[in-house]
A and B are shown apart, each in its own frame.
Chain A
Amino acid sequence: MKTDIILAGVGGQGILSIATILGAAALEGGLWLKQAEVHGMSQRGGDVQSNLRLSTDPIHSDLIPLGGADLIVSLEPMEALRYLPWLSPTGWIVTSTAPFNNIPDYPAEEALRAELERQPRIVAFDMDELARKEASPRASNMVLLGAASPFIDLTVEAIENGIRTVFGPKGEKIVMSNIMAFAAGRNKSMSLTR
């Protein structure tokens, strides 16, 4: 088994927490893992991405080859499309449709929506909204993790343990809120792909 994931978003949105949680879950599951991310200047509100590779066998490269990703997981619709060259011909996109508009020439929403709808294998919904409704406005990234989880060969239990590991120091209330957001995202994603 191998799953290659491109995690995408805007600096500060919390995609690196998703990577950390999947990392903890993979380690617990005895999998090999490589996860490359970019720090520093690139984090100041610019586009950020992380290459996350999980496998039952040792992994060579920290970077995913073009056309090799099984999943693009994004907190932002335009950012999901930025990494299309990495998506495998059978790969899935899981993205929030909530735009993060911090640039003067952000594309028109209709054009963006039309481009998302053209993608053959995609799970797309407003994750900010679901997070607000079901857990906390700050848990959009856990909704995304939940929405992506049916495509990743890790058990729900292992991922929830990962959430506990990462958010545990912030207290039980925050852990529970994040687990609720994760569950909401997972259910929504499964209802959309059924």
Chain B
Amino acid sequence: MKIKRLLLGDEAFALGALDAGLSGAYAYPGTPSTEITEFVQNHPLTAERGIHSHWSSNEKTAYEEALGMSYCGRRSYVAMKHVGINVAADPMVNSAMTGANGGMIVVAADDPSMHSSQNEQDSRFYARFAMIPALEPSNQQEAYDMAAYGFDLSERLRLPVMMRLVTRLSHSRGVVECAPEAREQNPVHFPDDERRWVLMPVNSKVRYLQLIDDYARAEQEAENSPYNITVPGTDRRLGIITSGIAFNYLNEAFGGKCPFTVLKISQYPLPRRRIAELCDAVDTVVVVEEGQPFIEEQLRGLLDRGVKVRGKLDGTLPRTGELNPDAVIDAFAGLCPDIMPARKPVAEVPVEVVRRRPPALCQGCGHRDVYHALIDTLKKYEKPRVFGDIGCYTLGWLSPFNAIDTTVDMGASITMAKGAADAGVHPSVAIIGDSTFTHSGMTGLLDAINEDSDVLIIISDNFTTGMTGGQDSQGTGKLVEICLGLGANPDHLVTIDSLPKNYEDMKELFTQEINHHGCSIVISQRECIQTARRHASEKSKKQ
């Protein structure tokens, strides 16, 4: 008897993984992937079975920990947002070389339209580059089902498998039919082919040839995958290749009655035979995919002289941003107006009374007080530069603060400030949150300490990973010791509470440390107002 539940795409995958005998969940929080691991952490089975679900310091450590569990024959996943794959790229690419032993799934949650991210990179390119299979569920049910399918596939091919989610699946709820009980976990068992786990050239040269064969086997799997489906149509003018959630927009646009043959792809490598069959049967192929033109570029090839293709590269569909039903309707209204009538005009936004409402730092947030003191301190210098980082405090770029000059990637504040100091800029200030610091700031700090670079590094510590909703931060209570351990000069390592009453003290401290002309670290501390409220309400409930 199946159980019906209402789940986010993230939660559907998480429950699918638990029901498929998961032994280890590994992750660093990142929108839109965070809810996967939160679901595992809160599920009773996790405590009952002792399933690992503690947050990792960053995506690379998380990846390697998951790989270690896979090496021991047990099932693991590692989950991250798309840009987390950049951080985990080293183990990811090399894990195609070692392969997996216990089933291993790497979840990449892409964020087309950049709702909460700095770019639109499409993780399918990474899967192809590393030569591992990828799954791309089109709805919450598939996100659930593909967890078990993915673990089986991973164990069959002995390769990690990528699960590509996107924001509109990760953060959308739907009805999911779930198994009544969870599969048993795998016992610990080591790989039978030990050489491929030691990636010395002598072994890698042998293994790489095998990987090429493995990838061909993965393509055969995709040819026969139950998730790659051809829905035949009668009109041969067009054929459609679609993937993942784009399939839903296509069905919405045609009201479920598309007259053209549709090949829906949810398992990669691309099934070439299936694609060839479609291309041979129609005049023009339209590619409707969420994200970058991954399928379309391969179909066109470098010279684009073969199959007639329409898609994102010729403007039939928008080149950037996420898809939606309207973009798909517009595309087909242009391609086949006899079948798809143009959309009727809709009401306009009354712009004279509807203003932009950008996100902002919360009232009562310590980052606010740090920024107020910092920008006032810097007024007396001619060309100060402030290098920001990834977190709530990135909002410090907006008015009324306009406090930071750059935001690039996790940890880049410290290292870019160092580079600027190397270039002779003074004051060169870095501002980084506590969780981002332990994610990727510590190694850069070691560089700055080793050269006693002329930088002021502010670690704005709110004791949590704030932007993603308040997950445990790995350095909480240890930041001073971490900095000292890296060799920070104790005379220029100062902590201060970032409270309004300390405004003058903060200004004085910043001035003093800027004028020190060496590597100074200020740790400004104040609990995140969101987690503080939550803790207060939990406390009052207990009383």
Contact = CB atoms under 8 A, between A and B. Distances in A.
B357 interface: yes
A85 B346 contact: yes
Nearest to B400: A104
A46 interface: yes
A51 B325 CA distance: 13
A112 B350 CA distance: 10
Contact of A85 (B32, B168, B347): B347
A78 B353 contact: yes
Contacts of A35: 172-174
B6 A23 contact: yes
Contacts of A64: 325
A37 interface: yes
| Interface SS, A side | mixed
Contacts of B357: 10, 45-47, 78-79, 102-103
Interface string B237-261: 0000000010011011000100000
Contacts of B248: 60-62
A61 B173 CA distance: 12
B326 A44 contact: no
A119 to B, nearest CB: 9
Identify which of B251, B353, B469 gathers the most chain A CB atoms within 10 Å of its CB.
B353
Which 4 A-B pairs give the minimum distances between C-beta atoms? Answer: A40-B31, A40-B116, A46-B359, A61-B252
A99 to B, nearest CB: 11
Given A33-B6, A34-B173, A44-B392, A107 B355 contact: yes
A168 interface: no
Q: Indicate the size class of the contact surface on chain B.
A: 35 or more
Given A38-B115, A44-B359, A82 B325 contact: no
A78 B115 contact: no
Interface in B91-149: 115-116
Interface of B: 4-6, 31-32, 34-35, 115-116, 167-169, 171-175, 245, 248-249, 251-252, 256, 324-326, 329, 343-344, 346-350, 352-362, 392, 394-395, 399, 467-469
A4 B348 CA distance: 19
Interface of A: 10-11, 19, 23-24, 26-27, 32-47, 51, 59-67, 78-79, 81-82, 84-87, 102-107, 111-112, 115
B353 A81 contact: yes
Contact of A39 (B245, B349, B362, B469): B469
Contacts of A24: 6
Contacts of A85: 346-349
A65 to B, nearest CB: 4
A105 B356 CA distance: 9
Contacts of A87: 346-347
20 contacts: A23-B173, A27-B4, A27-B5, A35-B173, A37-B173, A40-B115, A41-B31, A41-B467, A42-B116, A45-B359, A45-B360, A65-B325, A67-B343, A81-B349, A82-B349, A84-B346, A84-B348, A102-B360, A103-B357, A106-B355
B360 A27 contact: no
Nearest to A171: B541
B172 A36 contact: yes
Contacts of A66: 326, 343, 346
B249 A61 contact: yes
Contact of B172 (A45, A62, A115): A62
Contacts of A107: 352-355
B172 A37 contact: yes
B173 A33 contact: yes
Contact of B352 (A79, A102, A104, A111): A111
A167 B512 CA distance: 51
B469 A27 contact: no
Contacts of B392: 44
Contact of A81 (B172, B350, B359, B468): B350
A163 to B, nearest CB: 15
Given A23-B6, A36-B171, A61 B325 contact: yes
A37 B115 CA distance: 11
B324 A39 contact: no
